[in-house]
Structure 1
Amino acid sequence: MVFINVGLSKCYWNQYFAAISVNLLSLSYGGVILWTSASYIYLKKDSNRFETGVLTKEQLGLITAALSPGTLVGALFFGWLADKIGRKRCLLLAALPMLAHWIIIPFARNPLQLAVARFLGGTAGGSCFTVIPIYITELAQDNLRSTLGMLLSLALSTGVLLINTLGYFLHYITVAWIMTIIPLAFLVLFAFNPESPQYLAQRNREKAERSLRYYRGISSSGDANEEFQQELSRLCKSEDEKPEKLQLCWHDFTNRKARKAYFIGLGLVLTNQFNGCLTLQNYMTFIFEEAGSNLPPMISAIIVSVIVLVGTFLSTHFAGFAGRRTLLLGSISGIFIGESVMALYYYLTSKGYETSMFNWLPIGTFSLVQFSSTFGILSVTTPLIAELTPPKIRSIVVRVQIVTMFLLSSVITKIFPQLSESLGMSSMLFIFAGLSFIFTVFIAIFVPETKGKSIQAIQDSL
């Protein structure tokens, strides 16, 4: 196990503690994402709870939809704030709307109040995708950066499984009170971590050195080895370098390395959104029913959540060994195979061929697609974009890429029902499979391997 082998070294403990404690915020956001789905049964029948009576489909739609604009606002705001006040203080502030989300839910008496709670939870979630990858990239050693960067996706997957499991056994109000524990634990534990050394490096060399010593497990300057001194020197090129020298110019965004990093990042964003795995999650119940499954929808959701969690855990485990490019290629190839077989099954079924002996295929291929997506493309995209982007423009570029990702997600979610109704499920699956094949070629040609490389080495390879 990567966690055991690497974790035994004392110099890694503080990095693991920082990565795990910061991702308690991601764990909570994973619960926010599927809270509406996990609470659907109680929200539909709890007529005495709300002033408006039983919630309608339109009201439930409003509550569900409030998350996306909140996430967009949070990505923009907290991404900007991280450069102004630092990554640590920014993330501590982000925990407040997350905590407010869970506290408002038990007291909500109308759909608008629930929508406000969802919006606030979304803003905190925006910080998870923009600030946490930057924070991890800036504090982690080269041989740990891949593994620690994947903890974001692992925490999100764990949060999804947690909310589905709690929602199956408990009333949504009880679930909300239980979930308040997570952001509170984040506030307590994450407060012990110093600011990232890279953020401090151009502002205060002494503080940057203390931060770097903390994350490298070095108790005093006298214990610092040559490797540490070289890393500190790279971070702090000159003691006289002032924050005003950090002012951005147009060339910072248009030089060859920046253009290539943005091109690869945009390709990864498109791969993340147009491979079809996230869209197919909306058809999970349909796929299970078509296969003859009598499992309740919530049990189906829990099963899929377990599959997603296992895939994410394995990707975290193998990231330090196989490398991110390898994970991406394996992930998108698995999606391509799963969607191709699923598309062929639905096509033959629609044409009247006897396919009853293969009615296990929809569940099997759907599980393969979801497992493959979490094994690589969903877990690797954000940390890899942060690694490839030049440090000076990293915060802005990551912010733009994440906002682009959520905008695409909103558009796809909106138009997919109409497209699938007019073209048919098999046609949509063939389209997704074709796009996945194109993305496989893109990754093979353009995406570099970052395993074990320093940020400077990655930049030099662009």
Structure 2
Amino acid sequence: MKFVSYIYKRVYLYQYLATITSSFSVLSLGINTAWTSPYLPQILNGTYPYIKMTSDEGSWLAVMPPLASPVGAIIGAHLVDGIGRKNTALMMAPLTCIMFISLAFAKTLLLLCIIRFVIGCVSPILYTVLPMYLGEIADPSIRGILIASVAFSSLVGSLFINVLGFYYSIFTSSLICATIPIIHFLTFVWMPESPYYFIKQNREEDARKALITLRGTTDIEAELKTLSDVINAEKLENKEKFTDLFTVRSNRLGLFIFVVLNVTRKFSGSSPFLFYTATIFQTAGGSVNTNLSVIIFLCIQIASAMVSLNVLDYLGRRPVIITSSTACILALSITGTYFFLKDYKPEYITNLGWLPLTILTVYMVFYNLGLELSPIVYAGELFPTNVKAKALSFVDTISALNGIITLKMFQILTDNYGMYLPFWVFGTCCTIGLILIVKYVPETKNKTLEEIHIELMRRSGESNSDK
């Protein structure tokens, strides 16, 4: 496979090491995202004796991380350019470790919400810095697979916490999870900083050393000069204001594309499905054990994401995300119809208990093929260095708000109407997103960051005089 052949190329060694070591931090985020899947049902049904809560309170526990996301996004935008990409990621490790340890000893709903709020602040910081860092250190030929590994690691974290939830208590699983940020810190601390950051800080010699390490060769002067010219030109243009995201045409187009991708991703139902995976399968019924269904579901999800890691740089981003969106629309529509019949015409689905797991597995296969991984790849590609942190933080905030909306919408619609309605709503939203993706989202395969920016300028009708 293409991925395997890259591993043996010495020139990519440090790029892969940086990706692997940084991905431990995102593993923690995946654990936090899916934590409610195994443990919220235990709290609601009284299995966990220390905390009592209603279904509505449980939904607020689920939305605590996205509720905290705007706070983290603002902090992250300042940190990545202030102390660097690498140091920002490293700072999150001890905080995440402390929160997991606190989670092990949480005995009240208030403390549980505070812990998940704090961990929720960490998520947008890492989702801002890591796509930026990996996009800046990567060779164009493998940039897609490196950035997509961020989302892939999150999926592995989701599976990990569901497996732990199957066998262990909140106390034990939290202490196990606390070791992951420690591993992240002890390994990532040896990786080089982004040469883009060094050049922005007028540290050209440090940038040269970082490039030599990342490229595995001393023949980096041409690339270093290109980076210096681009970043120094951005400095001269003095485009450091938040409003440049909206006043500069190419930035505005890039932001619009990024928002479309993220809104489509969230309103395809991804957040509720991760937070309420076990609840969905409990409602669906069927002959397969609920916990086993969740684990099978997530294993297939990870397998499909591994395929996506290869095809994003082979087939291109655009055809993959269009195929992904189309398949998700069909899967959401079929699943919604199943739950509708279960509520109103149960005799029609007497022998179809296997259908929800099958169709939702198909959904997750195609969701991970494009909708899950492609937006985070575009996150590292669409924006010039001088506005990238602001753009990612802004979209992280929008994504968090969309996450809150979809989670509460799922809970409210399910409690008041039935499980079928949120699936139909998500299918409709995904259809609208597909139309916008076909019309506006460009192909960025094998293009340098500078070439992508030039294309956005051309498509937006921006000239140098506009800057």
- The equivalent residue for 2:193 is 195
Q: Which residue of 1 aligns with 2:303?
A: 310
Match of 1:84 among 79, 82, 85: 82
Asked if the contact 2:131–2:376 (Cα under 8 Å) also holds between the matched residues in 1, the reply is yes
Q: Which residues of 2 match residues 372-451 of structure 1 at below 5 A?
A: 372-420=366-414, 425-451=419-445
Asked if 1:217 is matched to 2:210, the reply is no
8 A Cα contact 2:29 2:154, kept in partner: yes
From 122, 130, 133, the counterpart of 2:131: 133
- Aligned: 1:297 with 2:290: yes
Which residue of structure 2 lines up, in the alignment, with residue 50 of structure 1?
Answer: none
Considering only aligned residues, what root-mean-square deviation do their CA atoms show, in Å? 2.7
SS at 2:373 equivalent: helix
- Once residues 325 and 368 of structure 2 are traced to their aligned partners in structure 1, the CA distance between those partners, rounded to angstroms, is 10
Q: Which moved more, 1:412-421 or 1:372-381?
A: 412-421
AA matched with 1:12: Y
Q: How far apart are the structure 1 equivalents of 2:230 and 2:361?
A: 52
Q: Is the Cα contact below 8 Å between 1:334 and 1:369 reproduced in 2?
A: yes
Q: SS of the residue aligned with 2:193?
A: coil
Distance 1:333 1:40 in 2: 31
**Deviation larger for 112-121 or 259-268:** 112-121
Equivalent position to 1:356, from 350, 359, 374: 350
The residue aligned with 2:26 is: 26
What is the DSSP-based 3-state SS (H/G/I as helix, E as strand, rest coil) of the residue aligned with 1:387? coil
Q: Does the CA-based 8 Å contact 2:147-2:380 persist in structure 1?
A: no
The residue aligned with 1:325 is 318
**What is aligned with 1:56?**
53
- Partner SS for 2:372: helix
Q: How many residues align?
A: 450
Three-state SS of the structure 1 residue aligned to 2:141 is: coil
Question: Contact between 2:245 and 2:391, CA under 8 Å: does it hold in 1?
Answer: no
Structure 1 unmatched ranges of 5 or more: 48-52
- Whether the 8 Å CA contact 1:82–1:90 is kept in 2: the answer is yes
**In structure 2, do the counterparts of structure 1 residues 341 and 3 end up closer, same or farther at CA, with 3 Å as the change threshold?**
same
- The answer to whether the 8 Å contact 2:335/2:356 transfers is yes
Secondary structure of the residue aligned to 1:237 is helix
Map of 2:363 onto structure 1: 369
% identical aligned pairs: 26
Q: Distance in 1 between matches of 2:264 and 2:281?
A: 26
Structure 1 range deviating more: 37-46 or 113-122: 37-46
Moved more, 342-351 or 152-161: 342-351
User: In structure 2, what residue type is equivalent to 1:212?
Assistant: L
In the superposition, relative to structure 1, how do residues 251 and 371 fare at CA in structure 2: closer, same or farther (>3 Å)? closer
Choose 142-151 or 352-361, whichever is displaced more.
352-361
Q: What is the deviation of 1:25?
A: 0.3
Shift in Å at residue 358 of structure 1?
4.1
| 1:11 matched residue in structure 2 | 11
Q: Which has the higher contact order (CA 8 A, sep 6+)?
A: 2
CA distance in 2, matches of 1:39, 1:418: 20
Cα deviations by residue, 1:321-344 (Å, 9 ceiling, x for unpaired)? 111112211210110121233344
Give the CA deviation at 1:284. 4.3
Once the two structures are TM-superposed, the CA of residue 251 in structure 1 deviates from its matched residue by 5.1
Q: Deviations over 1:291-337 (max 9, x none)?
A: 54244432222222212212222111222211111221121011012
Once the two structures are superposed, residues 320-371 of structure 1 have per-residue CA deviations (whole angstroms, 9 ceiling, x without a partner) of: 2111112211210110121233344445563577343444333222211122
- 2:308–2:368 Cα contact (<8 Å) kept: yes
**Structure-2 change in CA distance of 1:40 and 1:275 (3 Å):** closer
Deviation at 1:427, TM superposition (A): 4.8
Deviation at 1:66, TM superposition (A): 3.2
The residue type equivalent to 1:144 in the other structure is: I
